[in-house]
Homo-oligomer: A and B are copies of this chain.
Amino acid sequence: MVALGGSDIERLIAMLSRLPGLGPRSARRAALYLLREPQTRLAPLSRAMDSAARSVRTCSTCGTLDTTDPCTICADPERDRGLVCVVETVGDLWALERAGIHRGVYQVLGGTLSALAGMGPDDLNTAPLFARIKAGGVREVILALAATVEGATTAHWLQERLAPTGVAVSRVGHGVPMGGALDVLDDGTLAAALTARRPA
């Protein structure tokens, strides 16, 4: 390793390069951007990270990350607690929130069943979901899982476990993404889109 301006700067570059989306080259660029204005760029980001590290917690109801527990969504009286959307990750929840379609609440599994990744049923955060169902008030569970082998396996497994509870279970539709051209889509998506066809 070549010395790039002292160990503090090297450590910063090494840590930035571990972020997803940043390689060694972009980590150096990002570090230079921050180091050029230490007081207006580097120090405020450091404080924001420190503040987030202190305040972040996992919602004990739905499993998302927030600065409060219960989270902003679970605590929101406007949200429909009878409608629970099951997602794999907090990132999926954020994507749905940005779309602004779902007016219910969530359950974040924290993963999908996967023999390769060593994720079994006990590793999924499902207990709060069943507790909520047992406590009453849940009408429908929407499974918003990825259209992958792991996602489908997890959806199937959850559906079987939810059947005895009498709660309605639905899955998100699969098909051609809005604005997506057909000729770049894979065969599986095209097959799903044809199967899910509806009268025009």
Q: Which residues, 81 to 127 on A, are CB-close (under 8 Å) to B?
A: 89-91, 94, 97-98, 100
Chain A interface helix/strand/loop/mixed: helix
Count of chain copies = 2
Kindly identify which residue among B12, B21, B35, B48 contacts A29, using a CB–CB cutoff of 8 Å.
B21
What are the residues of chain B within 8 A of A21 when measuring CB–CB?
21-22, 26, 29-30
Q: Which residues, 147 to 195 on A, are CB-close (under 8 Å) to B?
A: none
Provide the bound-state CA to CA distance between A43 and B44, in Å.
14
- A52 & B9 in contact (Cβ 8 Å cutoff): yes
Provide the bound-state CA to CA distance between A6 and B8, in Å.
31
Can you name the residue of chain B whose Cβ is closest to the Cβ of A64?
Answer: B5
One digit per residue, 1 when the CB lies within 8 angstroms of any chain B CB and 0 when it does not, for chain A 41-76 equals 011111111111111100000001111100110000
- B42 & A8 in contact (Cβ 8 Å cutoff): no
Can you name the residue of chain B whose Cβ is closest to the Cβ of A46?
Answer: B49
- A94 & B53 in contact (Cβ 8 Å cutoff): no
Can you name the residue of chain B whose Cβ is closest to the Cβ of A43?
Answer: B53
A135 at interface, CB cutoff 8 A: no
- A94 & B12 in contact (Cβ 8 Å cutoff): no
What are the residues of chain B within 8 A of A8 when measuring CB–CB?
48, 51-52, 55-56, 67
Can you name the residue of chain B whose Cβ is closest to the Cβ of A68?
Answer: B6
Q: Given A49-B42, A98-B2, are A56 and B26 also a contact pair (CB < 8 Å)?
A: no
A11 at interface, CB cutoff 8 A: yes
Q: Which residues, 27 to 47 on A, are CB-close (under 8 Å) to B?
A: 28-30, 32-36, 38-39, 42-47
Kindly identify which residue among B2, B38, B49, B98 contacts A45, using a CB–CB cutoff of 8 Å.
B49
User: What 10 A-B pairs have minimum CB-CB distances, sorted nearest first?
Assistant: A6-B67, A46-B49, A21-B26, A42-B53, A5-B66, A38-B53, A46-B50, A43-B53, A19-B30, A8-B52
